[in-house]
Each structure stands twice: as C-alpha cells, then as structure tokens.
Amino acid sequence: MADEEAMMAEWEAMAEEGEAEADGDASEEAAPAGSTRVLDQSEIDSLLGVAGAGDDEGEESGIQAILNSALVSYERLPMLEVVFDRLVRMMSTSLRNFTSDNVEVSLDNITSARFGDHMNSIPLPAMLSVFKAEEWDNYGLMTVDSALIYSIVDVLLGGRRGTAAMRIEGRPYTTIERNLVERMVHVVLADLSAAFDPLSPVTFRFDRLETNPRFATIARPANAVIVVTLRVDMEDRGGLIELLIPYATLEPVRELLLQMFMGEKFGRDSIWEGHLTAELWQTDISIDAVLDQVEMPLGQVLEWIEGSQLELNCTPNSKIELRCGDVSMFKGRMGRRGGHIAVQVADKIVREGDS
C-alpha cells in the first residue's frame, strides 16, 4: 500500500508540473491550440457576407459570394435589356387592344436567380404558364400574380373603373378565370416572340397552365435563370408578370446576346432603305469584255518588239467573258451594232455561294 501511495503521489506531482508548463506556454503564445474564441458581430457579418453600413453595396464576401459565384449576371448579356425594353413597348399596345382600357407596362427589374429559390419565393395563389421556345427546343415560365388575375378578369367582364377588383382568397381559380388569363398569356407570348425577332426568329408556344409550382418544374433547382419582372397598371388596378427564362434556353442565341446594341438591328428605316436602293440602281459601274486570257513567261514578254503577234485561243464565234473588276458576271457573243462593237449577253456566270 505504501508503494502504491508513493506512486500516486509521484504521478500527481508530474501532472501538476505539466499543467504549470502548459500555463506558461499559453501566456507566451497569442492563440493557444486548445482554446476557443467567440467571434464578434462584425466578424460574423463578414463571414456570412452581410454588408455593413460603410460597405459598398456592389461588393459581396464570405458565404454569400461563394453561393452567388455560380450565377451569371444578366448584365453580361447586354442585348437582353434591349429585347425586354422592346417587349414593354409592344405589350403596352397589345394589352390596350386586348382590354380596351388604358394599360401601362413598365420593366421593374431583371435579375439572376436559381430556379429552385425563385419557385419557393413565388407568392401564392398565382398562375404559372409554361411555354416552349420552338426553335431553341427548351422551356420558359410566365407567372401572373393574384392581383393581376383578378384585375384582368374584372376588366374583361365589364368591371367599373375606379373600383378595386374583388378578391376571394382561399379558393381555386374558376374555368372562366383560367381561360381569360390564358388569352392574356397568348398575347404576351406573341409580343415576346416579336421582341426577339430582330435578334433571332423564335416562336414561344403556350404549353400548359398550372397553379402549383411543383407541377411547373422546367429545370433543375440549382440551374441559373433570368427573372424579368413586368408591372402592368390599369389605372387603379394591375399586378405583376414575371418571365423566367433558364440560361439553357438562351444558350442557342448566347453569342447574339453578348453583342452590344446597334440601332440598325432593331429599327428599320424605310426612308433610308428606299433612298439607298434608288442610288444603287443609278450607280455607274465599268464592265470589261475579255476576249481571252493568255499566260506566258515574263522573259518572253520582255522579248516583244514592234510587230510581235500574240495568238488568242478564240474564234469569231467564241463566247467572251464580261467582268466587273475581278468578278466574272456574264458570257456573250461579240458583234457590231451600228458603228460600235457590241456584246450580246448569252449566259450568266454562277459564282460559288450563289443559289
């Protein structure tokens, strides 16, 4: 027993010495390996990417920057804003004709998001219209919010101006309401097709109308999409239309969307076209009639003297070639008309690339 008590006392003394050495090392080092330090609020905000009062709004950091690193900003596709500006102008006219009312359409914003996040953020009830871009072989989504649904139904069914549309929440949409909204969706899709026409001809075809976002899935939840928010105002009534177009849908025209805006591609000036056409028809050009073409060494050409003869491989009945610059245009036969040498066009020379 005495031996065991002596051994325990020795171990306790060794343990106390080890703790004393550890405390001495901790006082010398700034951050010991075994210690835990609590982060303050500014460090937590920096880690999560939350902008402070003095930070720039355009800069992202921390986890927020990592999450958004996979998304492509719509600003890298400058032509998109031009297309949707054109859509706003066309929709203002089309919806005025559709509703016989004073309609103002404005572009709220164009943002990039993940498909799953956007679907989870859609305020219900709403109508989700799935449409297909025929030439691009992919789909898009149009969301009409509840306020605009009741406003369109009220306007089309003869509701009086100056009174807000009556809303009955908590019930499914009726067949009449679905049919009226579907008609409006067809009008918007026709304008969307026309807005893309100067860039790339495309037909947006209505596919189906859903009220449950789960049944309107057109892409994977992590896929990047473009979300365009349009505000429709009909005096004291109106609502929002959201166009969702996945980046995969825009991939066939990505190169066209990357170019900068050029006015001549989005507005035809008939006066200028007519003037240019008239000037082209009156332009004078020179045509060369080539009897034959002979190739010979330069040394033989240098030996020419006065009276030397050059033999051509053609006869009086051979066809000669008419050229404009270096471009061969026609073949014809040479003759005489009045006091002038003339050429009668016989054949048109088809160049490569012409049909």
Segments making up each domain of the chain, as ranges: 74-265, 286-303+312-355
- Secondary structure of the chain as H, E, C letters: CHHHHHHHHHHHHHHHHHHHHHHHHHHHCCCCCCCCCCCCHHHHHHHHCCCCCCCCCCCCCHHHHHHHCCCCCHHHCHHHHHHHHHHHHHHHHHHHHHHCCCCEEEEEEEEEEEHHHHHHCCCCCEEEEEEEECCCCEEEEEEEEHHHHHHHHHHHCCCCCCCCCCCCCCCCCCHHHHHHHHHHHHHHHHHHHHHHCCCCCCCEEEEEEECCHHHHCCCCCCCEEEEEEEEEEECCEEEEEEEEEEHHHHHHHHHHHCCCCCHHHCCCCHHHHHHHHHHHHCCCCCCEEECCCCCCCHHHHHCCCCCCCCCCCCCCCCEEEEEECCEEEEEEEEEEECCEEEEEEEEECCCCCCC
Q: What was the pLDDT predicted at 183?
A: 92
CATH of 286-303+312-355, one of 2.60.40.10, 2.60.130.10, 3.40.50.1820, 2.30.330.10: 2.30.330.10
Mean residue pLDDT of the chain comes to: 78
| Average pLDDT of span 112-123 | 86
SS in 3 state form for 224-283? EEEEEEEEEEECCEEEEEEEEEEHHHHHHHHHHHCCCCCHHHCCCCHHHHHHHHHHHHCC
What is the tens place of the pLDDT at every residue in 281-293?
888 888 888 888 8
Which of 70-79, 151-160, 271-280, 331-340 has the least mean pLDDT? Answer: 70-79
Q: What is the mean pLDDT of residues 64-88?
A: 71
Q: What is the mean pLDDT of residues 176-185?
A: 90
Q: At residue 31, does pLDDT exceed 80?
A: no
Predicted pLDDT at 337:
82
Q: What is the pTM of this model?
A: 0.56
pLDDT at residue 21, rounded to an integer:
52
Q: What is the pLDDT of residue 57?
A: 47
Fold of 74-265: Chemotaxis protein chec (3.40.1550)
Q: What is the pLDDT of residue 187?
A: 92
Tell whether the model's pLDDT for residue 114 goes beyond 70: yes
Q: What is the pLDDT of residues 87-100, one digit of tens each?
A: 999 999 998 888 88
Percent of the chain with pLDDT over 90: 10
Q: How do residues 206-264 score in pLDDT, each as one tens digit?
A: 988 888 888 888 888 888 888 999 998 887 788 889 999 998 888 888 888 787 655 44
